[in-house]
Amino acid sequence: ILNVEQSPQSLHVQEGDSTNFTCSFPSSNFYALHWYRWETAKSPEALFVMTLNGDEKKKGRISATLNTKEGYSYLYIKGSQPEDSATYLCALANNYQLIWGAGTKLIIKP
Amino acid sequence: DSGVTQTPKHLITATGQRVTLRCSPRSGDLSVYWYQQSLDQGLQFLIQYYNGEERAKGNILERFSAQQFPDLHSELNLSSLELGDSALYFCASSAGGGGYEQYFGPGTRLTVT
């Protein structure tokens, strides 16, 4: 059974600070790795889909890296803002479906 | 707005009943995914369809079934409802399989009393 682990489970960060968290997955038979942001009372929203080892993607203050050989991805947020408060989900893709991690809940303290 | 629509937004029904949830994917997307989010739980994958065919099945109960129609909209049927089926049901669509990002609808909140 494939397992996707995210750490930490939750994180409190001061506004303006930068932060990062981890997604770990089995490195064999890698297909793609997804990151989503899920704000309270809203629907998950796609951030990145990464497929190549060494991939780095960026969207504004948020970026992600991928290491398929060792089975991890990092999500970085630079200069956290209150609107970054959300649960960040990663998901490992096979051909047809995503295996979801439990998420990292990020709370930005003003 | 993701472009994915789900109806109804809220549904309240009694145990033992049957309901149908509807999803219209984003224009051009061929894949539809159904997810369940129970209280304080993460996303549980139920089932995926691609261009009318079932492609992947997750933790979907036998009391639940789904289909995707020729116009690509999808319906999730939940029968013999139990209290534990109360949850938020999301539909998501994508252009294809696992290499494509998923666009989520607003969800249907089901309450079984």
pLDDT per residue as tens digits for the range A16-56: 999 999 999 988 878 899 999 999 999 999 999 999 999 99
Q: State the average pLDDT for chain B.
A: 95
Q: How far is residue A34's CA from residue A45's CA, in Å, rounded to a whole number?
A: 11
Nearest Cα residue in chain A from B37: A43
Q: Which whole number is the average pLDDT over B84-92?
A: 96
- Summarised one tens digit per residue, pLDDT across range B32-65 is 999 999 887 888 999 999 999 999 999 899 999 9
Three-class secondary structure assignment of B56-102: EECCCCCCEEEEECCCCCEEEEECCCCHHHCEEEEEEEECCCCCCCC
Instruction: Tally C-beta pairs within 8 A across A and B.
Output: 60
B15 secondary structure, DSSP code: T
Encoded tokens for A34? 């997804």
What pLDDT sits at residue A1?
62
- Closest-CA distance of chain A to residue B50, Å: 9
- What is chain A written as a DSSP string? ----EEE-SEEEEETT--EEEEEE---TT--EEEEEEE-TTS--EEEEEE-STT-EEEETTEEEEEETTTTEEEEEESS--GGG-EEEEEEEE-SS-EEE---EEEEEE-
Q: How far is residue A29's CA from residue A69's CA, in Å, rounded to a whole number?
A: 10
Considering only CB atoms, which chain B residues are within 8 Å of A32? 98-99
R_g of chain A, CA atoms, integer Å: 13
Which phi and psi (to 5°) does residue B29 adopt? -80, 135
Considering only CB atoms, which chain B residues are within 8 Å of A93? 97-99
- Summarised one tens digit per residue, pLDDT across range A55-89 is 999 999 999 999 999 999 999 999 999 999 999 99
Q: How far is residue A55's CA from residue A73's CA, in Å, rounded to a whole number?
A: 10
Considering only CB atoms, which chain B residues are within 8 Å of A99? 45
Considering only CB atoms, which chain B residues are within 8 Å of A36? 102
Residue B56: which of A43, A97, A103 has the nearest Cβ?
A97
Nearest Cα residue in chain A from B42: A102
Residue B25 has pLDDT above 80, yes or no: yes
A95 pLDDT tier (thresholds 50, 70, 90) = confident
Mutation site, A2, A23, A31, A43, interface B, largest B CB count within 10 A: A43
A11 touches chain B (CB under 8 A): no
